[in-house]
Amino acid sequence: MQNLLQLAPQVTDPVAGKIDGNWIISNAETGEGFGILLIPESTLPPHRIILNFEGLKNHYFVRSGNSFVVASHTMLEDMFGRRPKPNLMLSTRIRRGGSNNNLQIYVITLGIENSGRGSAKFPYFAISVNQPYKISEYGIDGNGHFGLPKIARSRGVSEERYGSVDAFVIHPGMECDVTAITIELDFAKLIGFPDVLLDYKIAAEGVPLIEGQRTITVEELVRA
């Protein structure tokens, strides 16, 4: 299974990303079992086979029933004519601010990165952080400005929400800084200081809601 996962990035162009898998043993004595591969929907289709095997290399394949066939010219036209899709993920950037004796200020800028081939229209971003941390009220520039307009939230909702009401676009290969967290670290009291836990949600026009969690350790802050 490990060999298959290592081979995965070398099979197609462009690379089919986020392939994962596992080996489930059915007979411990012989080592027999079942290999499971997860191949998620690609944001960069179509994919050309680059393995150096006769009948496979430089071909594009499409599913036909329970098998695969080489794509015809018409099929290729259709695949290359598909609307490119954005691929959105959380972006984090740490920088050091001012300091006073043992007290060091760090700023974590949070936003949306688009690594896909399509533009992300009307982006949405929601973020919550564990105590004692909180989203800075001074925005990404220290003057109260945010990368996307803030959305009002009901009482009892802990996450901060941001969204575009105009035709705002995150182009391929670009990042949009949205908000920030300001942290004051006392170097005399680092032991027991909690890691930063970020729960985020990201969406855009035509992009289903993406939910995830990112941990930024105290060690990452100190190394910044």
Residues 72 and 154 grouped into a single domain: no
Q: Pick from 80, 100, 128: which residue ends a domain?
A: 80
Q: Pick from 38, 62, 80: which residue ends a domain?
A: 80
User: Of 21-35, 74-88, 116-130, 157-171, where does mean pLDDT reach its minimum?
Assistant: 74-88
Residues 34 and 119 grouped into a single domain: no
- Neighbouring residues of 36: CB distance < 8 A, sequence distance ≥ 6: 21, 22, 23, 24
120/205 Cα distance (integer angstroms):
7
What residues make up the domain containing 181? 88-223
Predicted TM-score (pTM) of the model is: 0.66
Q: What is the pLDDT of residues 43-93, one digit of tens each?
A: 777 889 998 888 888 899 888 888 888 888 888 877 777 777 899 999 999
Q: Pick from 80, 110, 127: which residue ends a domain?
A: 80
Residues 61 and 140 grouped into a single domain: no
Residues 92 and 200 grouped into a single domain: yes
3 state SS of 58:
coil
49/72 Cα distance (integer angstroms):
15
145/177 Cα distance (integer angstroms):
11
Residues 101 and 210 grouped into a single domain: yes
Residues 63 and 122 grouped into a single domain: no
Q: What is the pLDDT of residues 124-152, one digit of tens each?
A: 999 999 988 899 999 998 899 999 999 98
